[in-house]
Amino acid sequence: MKRVLMLASVASMIDQFNMPNIALLQKLGYQVDVACNFIEGNTCSDERVAELKQKLQDMRVCCYQIDFARNIKHMGQNMRALRQVEGLMKQNGYAFCHCHSPIGGVVARIAGHRTRTKVIYTAHGFHFYQGAPVMNWLVYYPVEKMLSRWTDVLITINHEDYARAKKKFHAGKTYYLPGIGINLERFHAGDAQTIQQKRQELGLQPEDVFLLSVGELSDRKNHVVVIEAMKQLVQRHPQLRYFICGQGEKKQELQQLIRKYHLEDHVKLLGFRTDVAELCQAADVFVFPSKQEGLPVALMEAMACGVPVVCSRIRGNTDLVKNGENGYLVRADQPEEYIQAIEKLLRIWKNTEEVRQMRKNNRARIKQYSLQKIDKIMENIYR
């Protein structure tokens, strides 16, 4: 039986993005090993990581701890990770390694080159893109371009990255993959009972308008801009309630901002959640203010549930949202534009046909990103 390595810098990337790939590889007859940092840097809870390890073991997947640092500046720790990955490749003789995340991609391709192991690299959104900081172009672009020569298969998940990779890079093969795949059996429009139950759990009143964001509490996910908008919105629309799912380093800062603006009754941090599908089904508006994305899973999951969206006009988001058709696109760092978009949705709320069409457009658009379609593409790549 051929053996393959699934590698990412953190366990949460395996949990959130790669379980279908592991199942597909096993279906194709491969023995799968997983290597990542199970201990540090994860965007999910320690309990969730423990559940992931147990699930992988139940699937007869071998798990290896690799001491990745998420920050590219921690060279010593990532050099240790390189030695660990190189040792794994030499020891186990993998048919190929499928790697994820910038740090994981760098380490896997260097180790693959040294050990003559084939490498598939999924770029979940290059750190250089139209409008990116100059430093991102100076640091990440030359590294990715150089390492593309040691990349057997490069998978990109949005049109901007695909066009640039095809034109500028040197991978053996380059593919456009429309995301990681959304499980439409789980993410779909909710029934009235599920919606009512979830709203009651959150303490919502029938007249409340439920705004939802899902994403790591980090600078990149940019939740602060919506909290800034809420400061003004609740003065005119006291029925607004904003909930944020996720955990991360910005939690304390966001809590302080909520207290500063006296928004404790209007903005809640829910932490890491396993009921995101039900929350999306119950939400009235999904707000996604991220500064940088590849092709955002959280946004696609909300769309699959038929939620009208307000999101930043950035790469990845613009692949999914057409202004006025299934939501509204705004500048990422402009609270006033979020206010205008949310108020626009509130104004059309009484026009049930317009809102119904927006929900319908979202559900229809996301079908092309279904897990079944992605699995078919990945099966051809893995073969």
**Contact status, residue 106 vs residue 147, Cβ threshold 8 Å:** yes
Nearest to 293 by CA among 230, 343, 382, 222: 222
Instruction: Fill in the amino acid letter for 98.
Output: H
Nearest to 120 by CA among 25, 15, 11, 19: 25
pLDDT at 343: 96
CA distance 343 to 129: 30
pLDDT at 376: 95
DSSP 24: H
Tokens of 189: 């429009």
pLDDT tens string 199-227: 999 999 999 999 999 999 999 999 999 99
**Contact status, residue 10 vs residue 99, Cβ threshold 8 Å:** no
Instruction: Provide the residue-wise pLDDT of the chain in tens; the chain has 383 residues.
Output: 899 999 999 999 999 999 999 999 999 999 999 999 999 877 778 889 999 999 999 999 999 999 998 777 788 899 999 999 999 999 999 999 999 999 999 999 999 999 999 999 999 999 999 989 999 999 999 999 999 999 999 999 999 999 999 999 999 999 999 999 999 999 999 999 999 999 999 999 999 999 999 999 999 999 999 999 999 999 999 999 999 999 999 999 999 999 999 999 999 999 999 999 999 999 999 999 999 999 999 999 999 999 999 999 999 999 999 999 999 999 999 999 999 999 999 998 877 788 899 999 999 999 999 999 999 999 999 98
Do the first three CATH levels of 3-182+370-382 and 192-369 match, i.e. the same topology? Answer: yes
Tokens of 206: 């029938």
CA distance 315 to 161: 9
50: Cβ–Cβ under 8 A, 6 or more apart, which residues?
none
CA distance 156 to 208: 40
Strand ranges across the sheet with 285-288: 267-271, 240-245, 209-214, 285-288, 309-312, 327-330
Nearest to 156 by CA among 120, 188, 203: 120
What CATH number belongs to 192-369? 3.40.50.2000
**Contact status, residue 227 vs residue 258, Cβ threshold 8 Å:** yes
**Contact status, residue 39 vs residue 70, Cβ threshold 8 Å:** no
Encode burial over 211-238: b for 16+ CB neighbours within 10 A, e otherwise: bbbbbbbbeebbbbbbbbbbbebbeeee
- 3-state SS, residue 231: helix
Where do the domains of the chain lie? Answer: 3-182+370-382, 192-369
Q: How many residues does the chain have?
A: 383
Tokens of 108: 């896997």
Query: C-alpha dihedral over 74, 76, 79, 83, to 10 degrees?
Result: -140
Q: Is residue 3 packed enough to be buried (19+ CB in 10 Å), middle (13-18) or exposed (0-12)?
A: middle
**Contact status, residue 69 vs residue 41, Cβ threshold 8 Å:** yes
User: Which H or E element spans position 8?
Assistant: strand 3-10
CA distance 358 to 364: 10
Nearest to 286 by CA among 270, 299, 297: 299
pLDDT tens string 267-296: 999 999 999 999 999 999 999 999 999 999
What CATH number belongs to 3-182+370-382? 3.40.50.2000
Tokens of 53: 């390890």
Q: Mind giving me the DSSP string for 195-208? A: HHHHHHHTT--TT-
How many C-beta atoms lie closer than 10 Å to residue 207's C-beta? 7
- 3-state SS, residue 212: strand
Phi, psi of 330 (to 5 degrees): -135, 165
CA distance 60 to 34: 11
Contacts for 348-353: CB closer than 8 Å, 24+ residues apart: 349/209
DSSP 150: G
